[in-house]
Amino acid sequence: MAWLEESPLLMRGAGWADYELLDSGGSRKLERYGPLRFIRPEPQALWRPRLPHWRADGEFLPASDEDGGGRWTFACAPAPPGWPLAWDDVRFTARCTPFRHLAFFPDMAPVWQWMREQLAGRHDAQLLNLFGYTGVGSLALSRHGTVTHVDASRKSVAQARENCALSGMEDRPIRWLTDDAVKFAARECRRGRRYDGIILDPPKFGRGPDGEVWRLENDLPVLLEHCRSLLDPRSRFLFLTVYAVRMSSLALGTLLVQMLADLPGRVEHGELVTVESGGDGRLLPTAIFARWSNHD
């Protein structure tokens, strides 16, 4: 029976060659993406910045609506339409999107590494990435077996395919699907499919390719029920991340342990944090998570 680790964890993501969190504070953060620096809003950075002055190539200015919107401004010339970055053996294109991020989530790096550790020695695993976005997580998993990548955005799936080609991984067994995550998972349950690992990074609100409406608080329990049906005692993990909601990681963990109660293993929960590269290595929280792992 899966059991819940009640004490929260911190999953720390340090910078790497193509990414650094340089400073944070005053509800903003300064980051380096390859050769370029950007300032983005960060409501959780309640403290004062460490550096007296920030030099950046661009800044995202949020709209007054807390649910989104805003625009990029640039110090000199606009940022290029895309530029290549890498994490380990995965290559991908960064770009300034209308949604304030840069076409991938650098704070997910410790999650990619953790999933690889759960699959150590495996090359035949069946893996599912729901809300897979531009595919960095799918490419990170692809060394361990077959990956099914699902996202409702045709544009995101197309970008994921481009990142796959940039990484030289076109020959790997990855299924790139434009689909609604809940409907796809339900169909997989009816087909009797099983997976060794599932990662899901659902938005607070979204729409599927046919206009399906996703609301996290209403739809997450249903999706997790489907995910439970796709796992069995031989499965290795499920990893759930949630951004930008007023919710406790303990709530996610409690929901997950209920859904997976009849499986062995344990459920942990906590926060993803990014370590600043200077000063005393201050930690910036970015998301909450709950994860199930099974090594039996």
What pLDDT is attached to residue 204?
86
Which pLDDT band holds residue 65 (cuts at 50, 70, 90)?
low
- Calpha distance 294→119 (Å, rounded): 11
Query: Using N-to-C axis directions, what is the helix angle for 216-229 and 181-190, rounded to 10°?
Result: 20
Does domain 3-12+82-95+103-293 fall into CATH 1.10.10.60? no
Residue 184, φ and ψ in degrees, nearest 5:
-65, -45
What pLDDT is attached to residue 189?
98
What pLDDT is attached to residue 64?
67
Q: What is the percent of the chain where pLDDT is above 90?
A: 84
Conformational region of residue 27, where left means phi above 0, alpha means psi within -120 to 50, and beta covers everything else: left
Q: Given strand 36-41, what is the order of strands in its sheet?
A: 19-25, 28-33, 36-41, 58-62, 70-74
Count of positions (residues) in the chain: 296
What pLDDT is attached to residue 210?
76
pTM, rounded to two decimals: 0.94
Conformational region of residue 52, where left means phi above 0, alpha means psi within -120 to 50, and beta covers everything else: alpha
Tell me: pLDDT of 211 over 80.
no
What pLDDT is attached to residue 296?
55
Q: What is the pLDDT of residues 84-139, one digit of tens each?
A: 999 999 999 999 999 899 999 999 999 999 999 999 999 999 999 999 999 999 99
Beta bridge partners of 288: 242, 271
- Calpha distance 46→90 (Å, rounded): 33
What pLDDT is attached to residue 66?
56
Tell me: pLDDT of 68 over 70.
no
Tell me: pLDDT of 208 over 90.
no
> Within 10 A of 280 (CB to CB), how many other CB atoms are there?
7
- Calpha distance 148→174 (Å, rounded): 6
Q: Cα angle at 135 between 265 and 123, to 5 degrees?
A: 50
Tell me: pLDDT of 44 over 70.
yes
* Mean pLDDT, residues 152-169 taken together: 97
Query: Domains of the chain: which residue ranges?
Result: 3-12+82-95+103-293
- Calpha distance 76→100 (Å, rounded): 19
Which pLDDT band holds residue 67 (cuts at 50, 70, 90)?
low
* Mean pLDDT, residues 26-53 taken together: 96
Tell me: pLDDT of 9 over 90.
yes
Tell me: pLDDT of 216 over 90.
no
More confident residue, 178 or 66: 178
Query: SS3 for the chain, per residue?
Result: CCEECCCCEEEEECCECCEEEEEEECCEEEEEECCEEEEEECCCCCCCCCCCCCCCCEEEEECCCCCCCEEEEECCCCCCCCEEEEECCEEEEECCCCCCCCCCCHHHHHHHHHHHHHCCCCCCEEEEEECCCCCHHHHHHHHHEEEEEEECCHHHHHHHHHHHHHCCCCCCCEEEEECCHHHHHHHHHHCCCCCCEEEECCCCEEECCCCCEEEHHHHHHHHHHHHHHCCCCCCCEEEEEECCCCCCHHHHHHHHHHHCCCCCCEEEEEEEEEEECCCCCCEEEEEEEEEEECCC
